[in-house]
Structure 1
Amino acid sequence: MWNKSIKLDIFEDLLFTHKYFIEDIFLKDEISTNITESRSIVFQEINKLFPNLSPEEKLNFLYIMGKAYSRSNSEKIQLIWSGPSVAGLPGRDTEIVFEEYISSAQESIILSIYALSEYAGSLINLLEKKVKQGIYVEIYVNDYASKSGLLDKIIGLDTSRAFVYEYIGAKNETQSLHAKVLTVDNEKSIITSSNLSYNGMDGNLELGVILNSKEKAKEIRLIFNTMIEKKHFKRIK
């Protein structure tokens, strides 16, 4: 049975105070089975807290700590707020954040947008540039006709690198693709309330999240791939 006198924050301190040590020994596969004699402060603390555990059980506990560190290190969430600084959260220009993420792309970009205006022309130009650099760019829109003037230059590029899809799976007249999402290199994503328009990027107060998570990026890609397979999207051109 769990010893209630042992507080969970002890393990949190162990994990984050010695996270580089824990990561290093797992990467190098240098865990000694005789940890009862180890001089490491991590092992000493485990031995003190769990004197009755076998060496194998202590190693299992360390493994759990390592996995927890790996998860905490691989998934990080930040808020992106376009309004004035509040509660210690600084305001950030949505357009600048999008430019930073698109510019950083080395392999692929997924962009889902609802409203798009000429105010976002610099972002479209940047996407065009990334396609010419060999980056895969996928753009998902609700109504292509209203955006064709801006997206035609993307359509005219290398069809093996540039993909523009229109949502055609509406179940009724009011249903639309309203998701505003940017995913870069299947590693990091922005999900926001902001449209790529003047009001969305400069006028309104918008809130979103930045997800540095390969797992969530994979889920986002799966959503759009599945929608394509089920013919809810059609490729333009």
Structure 2
Amino acid sequence: MSDGDFKGEILLNTIKADSANGTGNATDALRRKYPGLSESECEEIAGTIKVAMTMEPTDKVSLVVTAPPSFRIDAKPTMTVVQSMIESAKRNILITGYSLSSYFSELTDTIIDKSQRGVFVKFFINNIEQQPDADKLLRYKGRFLKLYDYSNEDDKMAALHAKTISVDMKQTLITSANLSYHGQEGNIELGTLVDSIRIAKQVDDIFTHLIFKKIVKEI
């Protein structure tokens, strides 16, 4: 077993123990390992992994990582996974953008092209008025490209902070990484890629409920 595999097994066992005992040791372990991450980010990562560990036996879960080039780990790079998911989508794409930057412009073009070929896209964006790089998406929104905005006038600190991509109702990425250079290549980010029809449906149901309740608004 490599050193990376051993440390990964320790983290997974710590998360299992936290789930059983109601403790938060995994969050502390992540902060020690990656001091650049905030406490809330570590909690989010630990929570994501904990959910992934409760999957059905038929579900497949993979670790997805953004890390410095010198960092070696047996995991899929975030940008590679994001590109592959969007480019391979054949029926539908659900995607959220807390921070959307020009670095993502090529994949924005791919998403637009997919929608024009009949792939149904639901793109949820945090405070779209403050996302200048969403302009191209706004120009092409239509029957197959639906844009939804989350803006909370009562609580300016509230945000659509989820970073999720789900394609064809069968594969879902849940990650701490934004759709930006640092999220995809520069930062230290962790996530899980889940091959599961059940989880994809649950994610879609959550965002459908947000639409129905008008918590997010179609642009």
**TM-score, structure 1 as length reference:** 0.64
Q: For residues 211 and 132 of structure 1, what CA distance do their matches in structure 2 show?
A: 27
Give the alignment of 1:1-237 within 5 angstroms: 72-73=57-58, 75-83=59-67, 84-86=71-73, 89-90=74-75, 92-147=76-131, 149-157=132-140, 159-169=142-152, 172-236=155-219
Q: Which has the higher contact order (CA 8 A, sep 6+)?
A: 2
Q: For residues 154 and 138 of structure 2, what CA distance do their matches in structure 1 show?
A: 27
Larger radius of gyration: 1
Q: For residues 155 and 116 of structure 1, what CA distance do their matches in structure 2 show?
A: 13
Give structure 1 regions of 4+ aligned residues with deviation exceeding 6 angstroms.
none
Q: For residues 197 and 77 of structure 1, what CA distance do their matches in structure 2 show?
A: 24
Q: For residues 208 and 171 of structure 1, what CA distance do their matches in structure 2 show?
A: 30
Q: Deviation at 1:158? A: 5.7
Cα deviations across residues 155-176 of structure 1 (Å, max 9, x unaligned)? 3336110001001346522111
Q: For residues 85 and 170 of structure 1, what CA distance do their matches in structure 2 show?
A: 43
**Cα RMSD for the two superposed structures:** 1.6
Query: In the superposition, relative to structure 1, how do residues 123 and 175 fare at CA in structure 2: closer, same or farther (>3 Å)?
Result: same
Q: Deviation at 1:154? A: 2.5
Q: For residues 152 and 158 of structure 1, what CA distance do their matches in structure 2 show?
A: 10
Give structure 2 stretches of 5+ with no counterpart.
1-55
Q: Is 1:188–1:212's contact at 8 Å kept on the other side of the alignment? A: yes
**Structure 1 letter corresponding to 2:194:** L
Cα deviations across residues 79-121 of structure 1 (Å, max 9, x unaligned)? 11122223xx24x432221110011111000001111111111
Q: For residues 170 and 202 of structure 1, what CA distance do their matches in structure 2 show?
A: 33
